[in-house]
Chain A
Amino acid sequence: MFGRKKQPVVDTSIAGTTPIAEAQARTTVTITGQVIRMQSRPASDLPTMVVSIKDATGTATATWTGRRSMGGIALGRHIVITGVATHTTGLLTFVNPEYQLLA
């Protein structure tokens, strides 16, 4: 499958992670960080979850379309995000990425 890393058959491996400041847009990257902000935008017909993730080098945004909440994603939780991001808003932004919850 284009760009999709096959996850190793081991629990919560964060091998292959890139610091947010170095992560390239338009190619599959894996970042890991802490959830510092969660915004649910249930504005009428366009429910969207926007989550900000911070690591030692910067902040990234993950947006999930069509959701008002994501089970298990909570402030302070560590999370691994894998996906293809844009840089258009100045911030690394993922749309509907794969995620893994860490402690």
Chain B
Amino acid sequence: MHMIIVGCGRVGSSLARQLTAEGHDVVIIDRNASAFRRLGDDYAGRTLTGIGFDRDLLIEAGITKDSAVMAVTSGDNSNILIARVAREMFGVERVVARIYDPRRAAIYERVGIATVATVAWTSKRILRTILPHQGVVDWTDPSSSYHLAERRVSASLAGHTVESTGSNIVLINRNGTAQLPTPSTLLQDSDVVHVLGTSAQLEEFDRQLAGKQGDH
């Protein structure tokens, strides 16, 4: 996948290294070329110096609607600008912005931008937003039968009831507020849901998220 990371700080450089190691086509952007030193000599991706919300620079980075864009600079405002330009100007769907202020994050969620506010294990959470179908789980019960996974509702499931998914959705986080769903609760775009199930059940949910109906 073509990945554009804006901000070569601790998180950005770590993402860039991890994603190139996994074989993705990565471009990392920063205002200061000196930041690229964090990437190390063996970094196999591209670097670009400039402002991440500049349209021409994003075009030079090869942005298309199938790219994934991660705005992880040290500034909340830059990150939200980058995220909106990527999404609204270039039609990119896989966009995530790191927002330090959790209250502002809730506000940006309403503009439809996926945000990640937690500082700890941020790379993992960012990747989960960008690559949701890689089967990441948060917790597994001691008998190893059940897993708890966090997923972001996509357009394919928006408007569907919890019941219709056939999955055990235990909690919905909507715009920063947690709700206990009932079977008839309707899922919405950008909801973050916590799903409890076996591996097979989670795979089925992931298939639905990706827009492919399984049999249930």
Contact = CB atoms under 8 A, between A and B. Distances in A.
A67 B158 CA distance: 15
B179 A9 contact: yes
Contacts of B157: 71
A64 B112 contact: yes
Given A74-B159, A103-B184, A97 B88 contact: no
B181 A101 contact: no
Please classify how large the interface on chain B is, using the bins under 10, 10 to 19, 20 to 34, 35 or more.
20 to 34
A36 interface: no
B110 A66 contact: no
Given A1-B103, A72-B159, A99 B188 contact: yes
B87 A66 contact: yes
Mostly helix, strand, loop or mixed at chain A's interface?
Answer: loop
B198 interface: no
Nearest to B103: A1
8 contacts: A65-B111, A70-B158, A71-B154, A73-B159, A74-B159, A100-B174, A100-B186, A101-B159
Given A1-B103, A65-B111, A72-B158, A11 B189 contact: no
A24 interface: no
Interface residues of A, number: 28
Contacts of A100: 174, 186, 188
Contacts, number: 70
Interface of B: 84, 87-89, 103, 106, 110-112, 153-155, 157-160, 174-175, 177-182, 184-189
Contacts of A97: 110
B155 A71 contact: yes
Q: Nearest 3 CB-CB pairs, A to B? A: A71-B158, A72-B159, A71-B189
B115 to A, nearest CB: 14
Contact of A102 (B103, B155, B186): B186
A72 B188 contact: yes
A9 B84 CA distance: 30
Interface string A23-64: 000000000000000000000010100000000000000001
B179 A7 contact: yes
A101 B186 contact: yes
